[in-house]
């Protein structure tokens, strides 16, 4: 959809709602969203990230709507993701899809049952050991170690020099990971170390679409890992498996190149994402009411009818809604 070198079209929340709603049919809608930089503003401390309340409300409404599925897909663990989002009825695909849980409506994240690929269990000890060693080696205040079972992420987004910090963390990982079984994924603000063949967002999205078979799929994200998922959506759309949009969220000073290349449209910020989700929830609710509810009677026509059917009545009448 986007020509090479040209970013996706930046839309306002309302514009995107009006683009999406006419495409919704009866075949179900799947909304798959990243967390950091998409539903939560980017903050210096990864443990300080919080979902925008308007996005939470909208996702709760959407997850409770028949025919609509909500999935959160993030590098965070499923438990961390569910604890921060607290959207009941949603599917939580944590650690890029390695973990999966469904939070019951009104349920607590801590009690959510989480499934993990059993083949990755043999990497848990390696990852823990690596986390311990690198944390000891790089003990700067900017270093944040995120332990994720068979994976570990070393965050350095608060370091004064990102490039120097990344080199330092990478060197520490090389020294500590003597087995070399884990694969390094260096990013601009974090270095992730994962088992070979562990699920990535693209695999998680493909499986979810195969399972749920939605007529329409919306994928929202801000980073390179999300761009992989955008590409899967485009591929499945071309194959007429599902329709939908890949929505890039502009959360950083610059949109990563793979995101700009793979997205169909863009929203300006996580706050705009929240407005979009709220607008979508409202539009879907209104659409369903239009189909199922009796014709609306305005207050003045109701009064007129009440007067016509009961001329002697002078009491107030309530409009039927
Ligand atoms: Mg993100």
Residue 247 lies in a domain: yes
The Å distance, Cα 241 to ligand 1 centre, comes to 26
Query: For 302-311, what is the mean pLDDT?
Result: 39
- pTM higher than 0.95: no
Task: Let me know whether 62 and 133 are in one domain.
Answer: no
Residue 135 lies in a domain: yes
Q: What does the angle CA 221 – CA 46 – CA 204 come to, to the nearest 5 degrees?
A: 40
- Spell 19-54 as b/e; 16+ CB within 10 A means b: ebeeebeeebbbbbbbbbbbbbbbeeebeebebbee
The Å distance, Cα 76 to ligand 1 centre, comes to 10
The Å distance, Cα 97 to ligand 1 centre, comes to 14
Task: Let me know whether 265 and 221 are in one domain.
Answer: yes
Name the more confident of 9 and 254: 9
SS3 assignment for 73-89: ECCCCHHHHHHHHCCCC
Residue 60 reports pLDDT greater than 70 = yes
Task: Let me know whether 106 and 204 are in one domain.
Answer: yes
The Å distance, Cα 187 to ligand 1 centre, comes to 12
Minimal CA–CA distance to 149: which of 174, 177, 105, 182? Answer: 182
Residue-level pLDDT at 290: 52
Task: Let me know whether 42 and 162 are in one domain.
Answer: no
The Å distance, Cα 57 to ligand 1 centre, comes to 20
Residue 76 lies in a domain: yes
Residue-level pLDDT at 294: 46
Question: What percent of the chain is predicted at pLDDT more than 90?
Answer: 79
Name the more confident of 314 and 105: 105
Residue 210 reports pLDDT greater than 70 = yes
Query: For 142-150, what is the mean pLDDT?
Result: 96
Residue 223 lies in a domain: yes
The Å distance, Cα 216 to ligand 1 centre, comes to 22
Residue 316 reports pLDDT greater than 60 = no
The Å distance, Cα 30 to ligand 1 centre, comes to 19
The Å distance, Cα 35 to ligand 1 centre, comes to 6
Secondary structure class of 310 (helix, strand, coil):
coil
Residue-range definition of the domain harbouring residue 175: 119-194
The Å distance, Cα 221 to ligand 1 centre, comes to 6
Residue 289 reports pLDDT greater than 60 = no
Confidence category of residue 6, pLDDT binned at 50, 70, 90: low
Query: For 223-227, what is the mean pLDDT?
Result: 93
SS3 assignment for 86-122: CCCCCEEEEHHHCEEEECCCCCCHHHCCEEECHHHHH
Domain endpoint, select from 131, 164, 194: 194
Residue 299 lies in a domain: no
The Å distance, Cα 301 to ligand 1 centre, comes to 51
Hunting for tokens 């994924």 — which residue is that? 185
CATH number at residue 142: 3.30.70
Residue-level pLDDT at 271: 98
Confidence category of residue 251, pLDDT binned at 50, 70, 90: confident
Residue-level pLDDT at 284: 95
Question: What percent of the chain is predicted at pLDDT more than 70?
Answer: 88
Let me know how many helices (H) and strands (E) the chain has, helices first: 10, 13
The Å distance, Cα 252 to ligand 1 centre, comes to 10
CA distance 173 to 169: 6
Q: Domains in the chain: how many in total?
A: 2
Task: Let me know whether 22 and 155 are in one domain.
Answer: no
Task: Let me know whether 106 and 245 are in one domain.
Answer: yes
Task: Let me know whether 133 and 45 are in one domain.
Answer: no
The Å distance, Cα 98 to ligand 1 centre, comes to 17
Least confident segment among 38-42, 52-56, 187-191: 187-191
Give me the chain's average pLDDT, please.
89
Task: Let me know whether 100 and 128 are in one domain.
Answer: no
In this predicted model, what pLDDT tens digit does every residue of 147-164 receive, in sequence order? 999 999 999 999 999 999
The Å distance, Cα 37 to ligand 1 centre, comes to 5
The Å distance, Cα 194 to ligand 1 centre, comes to 18
In this predicted model, what pLDDT tens digit does every residue of 183-200 receive, in sequence order? 999 888 999 999 998 889
Task: Let me know whether 74 and 208 are in one domain.
Answer: yes
Residue-level pLDDT at 186: 86
Residue 103 reports pLDDT greater than 70 = yes
The Å distance, Cα 148 to ligand 1 centre, comes to 17
Give φ, ψ of 286 to 5 degrees: -65, -40
Give the largest Cα separation in the chain, rounded. 92
Task: Let me know whether 109 and 207 are in one domain.
Answer: yes
Task: Let me know whether 220 and 269 are in one domain.
Answer: yes
CATH number at residue 98: 3.40.50.1000
Domain endpoint, select from 158, 174, 194: 194
Task: Let me know whether 162 and 232 are in one domain.
Answer: no
Residue 301 lies in a domain: no
Confidence category of residue 244, pLDDT binned at 50, 70, 90: very high
The Å distance, Cα 310 to ligand 1 centre, comes to 62
Residue 267 lies in a domain: yes
Residue-level pLDDT at 188: 83
Residue 320 lies in a domain: no
């Amino acid at each position: 959809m986007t020509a090479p070198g040209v970013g996706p079209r930046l839309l306002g929340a309302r514009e995107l709602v009006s683009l999406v709603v006419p495409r919704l049919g009866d075949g179900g809608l799947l909304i798959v969203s990243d967390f950091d930089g998409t539903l939560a503003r980017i903050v210096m401390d990864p443990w300080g990230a919080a979902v925008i309340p308007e996005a939470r409300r909208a996702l709760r409404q959407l997850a409770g709507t028949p025919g609509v599925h909500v999935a959160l897909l993030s590098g965070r663990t499923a438990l961390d993701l569910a604890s921060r989002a607290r959207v009941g009825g949603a599917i939580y695909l944590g650690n890029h899809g390695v973990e999966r849980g469904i939070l019951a409506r009104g349920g607590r994240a801590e009690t959510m049952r989480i499934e993990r690929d059993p083949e990755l269990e043999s990497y848990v000890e390696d990852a823990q050991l690596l986390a311990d060693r690198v944390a000891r080696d790089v003990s700067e205040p900017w270093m944040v170690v995120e332990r994720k079972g068979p994976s570990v992420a070393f965050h350095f987004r608060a370091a004064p020099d990102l490039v120097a910090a990344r080199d330092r963390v990478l060197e520490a990982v090389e020294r500590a990971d003597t087995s070399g079984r884990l694969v390094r994924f260096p990013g601009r603000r974090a270095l992730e170390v994962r088992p070979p063949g562990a699920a990535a967002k693209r695999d998680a999205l493909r499986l979810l679409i195969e399972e749920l078979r939605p007529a329409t799929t919306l994928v929202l994200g801000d980073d390179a890992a999300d761009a992989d998922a955008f590409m899967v959506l485009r591929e499945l759309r071309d194959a007429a498996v599902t329709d939908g949009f890949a929505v890039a969220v502009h959360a950083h000073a610059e949109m990563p190149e793979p995101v700009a290349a793979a997205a169909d449209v863009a929203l300006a910020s996580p706050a705009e994402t929240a407005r979009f989700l709220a607008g979508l929830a409202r539009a879907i609710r209104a659409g369903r009411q239009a189909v199922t509810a009796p014709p609306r009677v305005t207050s003045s026509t109701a009064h007129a009818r009440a007067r016509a059917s009961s001329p002697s009545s002078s009491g107030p009448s309530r409009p039927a809604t």
